[in-house]
C-alpha cells in the first residue's frame, strides 16, 4: 500500500505539497479543496501552465497525488446542491488529470429515506462518464463531512454499512475513503467490517478518535458533541491490528496520515513535528 499524508493544512499549494512529501520521505500526498465556483473556461493558459509544472515537479521528485478531495457534501435531495456539485467535481477531475492523479473524493449526505440514494444512482452515470473522460475515479468519503465536524447528531446522520453496500451495487466503479476512527464512534467494529468492504476501499485515512464517555453517558448520542479527532496513536484505534488486517486482505490502496486534532494548531513547526511523528509511528507498521 502507498503511504501518504494530507498536505492541506500546510497551506503551501499543490507544488508545496509535492516538496513537503519529498522532504518527508513520502511517495504520495493528498490535497483538499474548499467549495468553489468554477470559471467558465476549463483552464486558462496560466492555470494550465501551473498544473503542468506541478505534474513535472511530482515526476522529478517521485511523488504522486493519491487523491484530490472536494470538501463539499452532496445533498441529492437538494437541486441547488446538485447544480453546485457537478461543475466543481468536473473541474477537479480535470485538475486531477493534469497533475496525474487518478482519484477525486467527496462527501455524500444520507437522507431520511431511500429517495436520496435513488437520486444519486440516477445522477451517477453522467458523473461517472465525466470523470472517466479524465481517467479519474470517484470516491465517497466515509469520514465525518467537514461541515459536520463539531455538530451534534441532532443535525445530521452518517451513512450505515448497508447503505455503503447498496451504493456499490447501484453505482459501478464507485469506491470509498475508509475511516476506522469514524467507525468507532458509530459503534461499528472496523476489524469485523473490513473483510466485506476492503474490495471497495481505495483510500484509508489515518486519524484517531477520542470519545468523552462523561458527556456521552450524561447527554446521550444527540447531546453535545462527545467525540473528537486526534492524531493517530492518541486515540482508540488499534493501528497495529488494523494495518495487519489490511495486509492480510491484500489492500493495494493508499494509507494516508491525517493531521486533524483540535490540540494541534496551525503553526508550521507544530505541523511539521506532527507529520514527522506520524511517519515515525506508522513506518514500522506499514513496512513489508
Distance (Å, rounded) from C-alpha 2 to C-alpha 253? 6
For 260, the 3-state DSSP assignment is coil
Q: CATH number for the domain including 79? A: 3.20.20.150
**Across residues 81-103, what is the average pLDDT?**
96
Asked if residue 87 belongs to a domain, the reply is yes
Residue 140 inside a domain? The answer is yes
| Residue whose C-alpha is closest to residue 124's, from 165, 169, 180 | 169
Structural domain boundaries, residue 264: 2-207+237-286
**Could you tell me which residues come within 8 angstroms of residue 146 by beta carbon, excluding any fewer than 6 positions away?**
71, 73, 107
Count structural domains, the chain: 1
pTM of the model: 0.95
In a 3-state reduction of DSSP, which class is residue 103?
Answer: strand
Please report whether residue 167 resides in a domain.
Answer: yes
Give ∠ CA 66-76-116 in degrees, rounded to 5: 110
Classify residue 221: in a domain, yes or no.
Answer: no
For the stretch 116-168, pLDDT in tens is: 999 999 999 999 999 999 999 999 999 999 999 989 999 999 999 999 999 99
Place of cell 493519491: 66
Is residue 212 included in any domain, yes or no?
A: no
Asked if the structure places residue 35 within a domain, the reply is: yes
pLDDT tens digit string along 211-263? Answer: 999 999 999 999 999 999 999 999 999 999 999 999 999 999 999 999 999 89
Amino acid at each position: 500500500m502507498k503511504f501518504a499524508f494530507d498536505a492541506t493544512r500546510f497551506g503551501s499549494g499543490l507544488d508545496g505539497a509535492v516538496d513537503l512529501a519529498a522532504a518527508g520521505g513520502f511517495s504520495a500526498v493528498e490535497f483538499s479543496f474548499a467549495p468553489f465556483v468554477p470559471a467558465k473556461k476549463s483552464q486558462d493558459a496560466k492555470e494550465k501552465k501551473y498544473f503542468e509544472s506541478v505534474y513535472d515537479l511530482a515526476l522529478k521528485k517521485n511523488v504522486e497525488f493519491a487523491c484530490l478531495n472536494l470538501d463539499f457534501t452532496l445533498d441529492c435531495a437538494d437541486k441547488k446542491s446538485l447544480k453546485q456539485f457537478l461543475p466543481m467535481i468536473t473541474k477537479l477531475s480535470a485538475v486531477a488529470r493534469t497533475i496525474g492523479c487518478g482519484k477525486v473524493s467527496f462527501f455524500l449526505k444520507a437522507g431520511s429515506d431511500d429517495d436520496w440514494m435513488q437520486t444519486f444512482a440516477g445522477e451517477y452515470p453522467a458523473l461517472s462518464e465525466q470523470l472517466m473522460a479524465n481517467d479519474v475515479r470517484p470516491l465517497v468519503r466515509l469520514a465525518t463531512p467537514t461541515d459536520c465536524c463539531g455538530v451534534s447528531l441532532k443535525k445530521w446522520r452518517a451513512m450505515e454499512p448497508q447503505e455503503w453496500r447498496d451504493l456499490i451495487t447501484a453505482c459501478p466503479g464507485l469506491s470509498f475513503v475508509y475511516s476506522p476512527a469514524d467507525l468507532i464512534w458509530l459503534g461499528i467494529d472496523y476489524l469485523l467490517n473490513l473483510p466485506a468492504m476492503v474490495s471497495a476501499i481505495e483510500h484509508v485515512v489515518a486519524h484517531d478518535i477520542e470519545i468523552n464517555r462523561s458527556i456521552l453517558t450524561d447527554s446521550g448520542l444527540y447531546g453535545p458533541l462527545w467525540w473528537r479527532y486526534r492524531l493517530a496513536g492518541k486515540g482508540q484505534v488499534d493501528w497495529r491490528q488494523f494495518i495487519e488486517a489490511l495486509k492480510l486482505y491484500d489492500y493495494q490502496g493508499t494509507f494516508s496520515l491525517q493531521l486533524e486534532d483540535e490540540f494541534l494548531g496551525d503553526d508550521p513547526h507544530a505541523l511539521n513535528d506532527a507529520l514527522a511523528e506520524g511517519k515515525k509511528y506508522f513506518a514500522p507498521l506499514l513496512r513489508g
